[in-house]
Amino acid sequence: MKSLKVFMLIGDPVAGSLSPAMMNAAFKKLRLNHIYVAVRVPENLLGDAIAGTRKMGIAGLNVTIPHKIAVMKFLDALDESAALAGAVNTIKNSRGKLVGFNTDGEGALRYLEEKVGKVKGKRVLLLGAGGAARAIAFSLLKAGAELSIANRTVSRAKELASLIEQKLGKEVPTISIDRRTLKRFITNTEVLINATSVGMRPRIDETLVTAEMMHRNLTVYDIVYKPIRTRLLLEAEKAGAMTVDGLGMLVRQGALAFEIWTGKRAPIKVMEDAVRREIGKVVG
């Protein structure tokens, strides 16, 4: 039997992450002698953690909040997906060389297009300007969407818009997240995406957009998956809008990471079933 390969999720917090169940189910299905664990890494220990993974020969990492941007300076190289987004969520250890990738954007896009068809020409409003939002923004624009960005700190939204203009030569409007401005803007929006942590457990009663700000022809996509039916999605249902939950993105970005690490096609249905079973345990 080949020697055991260890893969990790690092972030803070990571307790209750669905990724170990998802990845270990995929490894088992393909009979790979691999194991995946979640490890809490506080911000001040990120550099030490990456150095430790080198020494221990960890085969690959997933990176979550709050490290997706900060981790880049500790890596040896970036794939185009990470360089473009300016954020990393997947690391491959290639014979001691740590290479950063970003599967968030492509994972989010794949699931969205499964639900609504091609996004080319669609008017999309993205809430957020952090690591996941950056990746999603670039994937949407490369797929031809007409994107606008809203963020609580408008300067961060403008910073992302400036980065997009530098790298893709496209101008992206930015707006503030105040209810009046959002409501007016959403009137002409076809797809609304929440790429912030607002509504994530334990603060499940929070939402940036309420039902009276939405319309029936809107698709509302929340990348938060704990809970699956976030307050934002519940508000969207009240407005008669179509809803897309965050589990699909979680699975598809995970599947892309799996393929980067193993070179094998990810068993997506097995991964999705594992995630839904794990969610069921929490809900049950």
CATH number of domain containing 270:
3.40.50.10860
pLDDT tens-digit profile of 224-249? 998 999 999 999 999 999 999 999 99
pLDDT over threshold 50, residue 37: yes
Residues 85 and 109 in one domain: no
Question: Do 107 and 255 touch, CB atoms closer than 8 A?
Answer: yes
**pLDDT value at position 235?**
98
Question: Do 130 and 150 touch, CB atoms closer than 8 A?
Answer: no
Query: How many other C-beta atoms are found inside a 10 Å radius of the C-beta of residue 189?
Result: 21
Q: How confident is the model at residue 14 (pLDDT cuts 50, 70, 90)?
A: very high
pLDDT tens-digit profile of 20-33? 999 999 999 999 99
Structural domains counted in the chain: 2
**pLDDT value at position 202?**
86
Distance CA 170, CA 161 (A): 9
Q: Can 28 be counted among the known catalytic residues?
A: no
Distance CA 266, CA 270 (A): 9
Q: Which two tokens stand for residue 120?
A: 């080319």
Q: How confident is the model at residue 2 (pLDDT cuts 50, 70, 90)?
A: confident
Residues 228 and 123 in one domain: yes
pLDDT over threshold 50, residue 152: yes
**pLDDT value at position 282?**
52
Residue 13, preceding peptide bond in cis (omega within 30° of 0):
yes
Q: How far apart are the first and last CA of the chain?
A: 38
- If we measure between CA atoms, which residue out of 28, 98, 23 comes closest to residue 257? 23
**pLDDT value at position 256?**
98
Distance CA 219, CA 29 (A): 34
More confident residue, 284 or 159: 159
pLDDT over threshold 70, residue 199: yes
Residues 54 and 178 in one domain: no
Residues 109 and 89 in one domain: no
Distance CA 219, CA 190 (A): 6
Which of 28, 29, 55, 68 is the catalytic position?
A: 68
Q: How confident is the model at residue 181 (pLDDT cuts 50, 70, 90)?
A: very high
Question: Do 88 and 10 touch, CB atoms closer than 8 A?
Answer: no
Residues 126 and 238 in one domain: yes
Residues 128 and 205 in one domain: yes
Residues 181 and 254 in one domain: no
Q: How confident is the model at residue 283 (pLDDT cuts 50, 70, 90)?
A: very low
Q: What is the mean predicted confidence (pLDDT) over 251-255?
A: 97
DSSP 8-state code for residue 67:
-
Distance CA 11, CA 210 (A): 30
Residues 216 and 120 in one domain: yes
Residues 125 and 233 in one domain: yes
Residues 64 and 173 in one domain: no
The boundaries of the domain holding residue 198 are: 105-245
Question: Do 272 and 251 touch, CB atoms closer than 8 A?
Answer: yes
Residues 262 and 240 in one domain: no
**pLDDT value at position 189?**
98
Residue 154: give its domain's CATH number. Answer: 3.40.50.720
pLDDT tens-digit profile of 201-222? 888 999 999 999 999 999 999 9
**pLDDT value at position 284?**
35
More confident residue, 127 or 130: 127
Residues 238 and 258 in one domain: no
pLDDT tens-digit profile of 45-89? 999 999 999 999 999 999 998 999 999 999 999 999 999 988 899
Distance CA 79, CA 132 (A): 16
DSSP 8-state code for residue 120:
T
